[in-house]
Amino acid sequence: MANVAIIGAQWGDEGKGKVVDWLASRADIVVRFQGGHNAGHTLVVGNQTYKLSLLPSGLVRGKLGIIGNGVVIDPEALLTEMARLTAQGLTITPETLRIAENAPLILPLHGALDRAREVARGENKIGTTGRGIGPAYEDKVARRAIRVCDLAEPDTLSAKLDELLLHHNTLLRGLGAAPFEKAVLLDRLLELAPLLLPFAEPVWELLDEARRAGKRILFEGAQAVMLDVDHGTYPFVTSSNTVAATAASGSGVGPGVVGTVLGIAKAYTTRVGSGPFPTELFDDTGRLLGERGHEFGTVTGRPRRCGWFDAAMVRQAVKVGGIQGLALTKLDVLDGLPELKVCTGYRIGGVEVRHLPAAQGAQASAEPIYESMHGWKDSTRGARSYAALPAQAIKYVRRIEELVECPVTLLSTSPERDDTILMKDPFEG
């Protein structure tokens, strides 16, 4: 049996939470390997709705959850999330959740700097969540990050805060924002230490033992390939690498452990925040997709921009993300539309191209080249077999497979975990 990595194949919010939850029933361990609490997964289980930002989705299934070293952790946000889900009946203890001891922390000064920068950018803002993820990753790369393990060493923590504040307070003052006091930050971190340290360990060792024992590991990505800091629509991206290769480095395993890579894509396209979006719709159809799909950011609550399925973009995500099978979600949102359009490429400066280029200006000027298809009248909502789908819906899925050059191996037809059609089990490799 193979391990499985799940990543987004668009700009995030593709329904990864439901798919991870559905597959977690057959996994032993679920690992978050990048991102921070700017990511959000919504799980609908019966009459309960769970909203997760940092915690691995497998906790809802009672599986061991691991937060890997590639994640930047806001300790206040993590503890708040743990308390909220505990109140909903989940068991979250050091027996069910482990945190990489070398994971970097997000401090209040990171969020303050994030927000101050966005204000300073004015009309050129990136559209960050303002939660400090970017500045925390900057500190990690600059080798001045405070990590989970530092909470166990007060002297180390104090010395690191001196360096951190020298850097950040200078920037905050320059942006007209209030500086932070060391004593306040140090006292709070020392208060948080006994709450977090019981969950900390070298998770690379735990994962190696699990691998040797033949346990199934599910690697859970946040955001999506087109938000990858290298491969996405830069600079309108997140601050981490979101491709499947990061599952290894972000959790402490070798690349051969990652296993099958499943990409998640909606049957249409959405995006939260700023940045290029060639297939965005500003008409009644775009509004209809948003209303039917309940398109609001799990973390931010911001309405998502909606548009037609962009096969050229997903094909690009398949190539750079290492995706071997595609899970197509929210097919039911397209029910009843008389005509559907799929983007097969772009026209930039009069030239036709099959992918989004890296240059920012070229991305912004990309005009979609569409292929039109008939829609279907009958409902796909709740379908649990291919036979239950309208013939035209099957044609739509088959055409997407051809255009993205990747098989659709799973279909989701409603938010309910069991309304899922599985064509190929990713755990079978």
416 Cβ contact partners less than 8 Å away, ≥ 6 residues apart: 44, 382
**pLDDT block averages, 10 residues each, the chain of length 429:** 91 86 90 88 77 89 95 96 93 96 97 89 80 94 96 97 95 93 96 98 97 95 95 94 96 95 97 93 95 80 91 98 96 96 96 95 96 96 92 97 97 86 87
In the chain, where the domains are located: 4-100+199-260, 108-196, 266-310+328-428
Q: Which of 229, 317, 243, 227 is nearest to 276 (CA)?
A: 227
Neighbours of 228 (CB within 10 A): 25
Q: How many angstroms separate the CA atoms of 250 and 270, rounded?
A: 26
Phi, psi dihedral angles at 218 (to 5 degrees): -110, 120
110 in catalytic set? no
One of 21, 28, 37, 41 is an active-site residue; which one?
Answer: 41
Q: Summarize pLDDT for 207-226 with one digit per residue, the tens.
A: 999 999 999 999 999 999 99
* 223 residue type, one letter: Q
Q: Which two tokens stand for residue 376?
A: 């279907």
Q: Is 48 helix (H, G, I), strand (E, B) or coil?
A: strand
Q: How many angstroms separate the CA atoms of 104 and 102, rounded?
A: 6
Residue labelled with tokens 């503890």? 79
Tell me if 50 sits within 8 A of 86, measured CB to CB. Answer: no
The fold for domain 4-100+199-260 equals: Adenylosuccinate Synthetase; Chain A, domain 1 (3.40.440)
- The predicted pLDDT at position 298 comes to 62
Q: Which two tokens stand for residue 308?
A: 């037609």
- The predicted pLDDT at position 299 comes to 63
One of 13, 74, 114, 139 is an active-site residue; which one?
Answer: 13
- Percentage of residues of the chain with pLDDT beyond 70: 99
Q: Summarize pLDDT for 344-357 with one digit per residue, the tens.
A: 999 999 999 999 99
Residue labelled with tokens 């700017």? 38
- What pTM, to 2 d.p., does this model score? 0.93
* 262 residue type, one letter: L
Cβ neighbourhood burial of 229 (10 Å; 0-12, 13-18, 19+): middle
CATH fourth-level superfamily of 266-310+328-428 = Adenylosuccinate Synthetase, subunit A, domain 3 (3.90.170.10)
41 in catalytic set? yes
Q: Summarize pLDDT for 91-147 with one digit per residue, the tens.
A: 999 999 999 999 999 999 999 998 999 888 887 777 778 889 999 999 999 999 999
The fold for domain 108-196 equals: Adenylosuccinate Synthetase, subunit A; domain 2 (1.10.300)
Longest dimension (CA), the chain: 67
Q: Which of 131, 194, 148, 189 is nearest to 165 (CA)?
A: 189
Cβ neighbourhood burial of 212 (10 Å; 0-12, 13-18, 19+): exposed
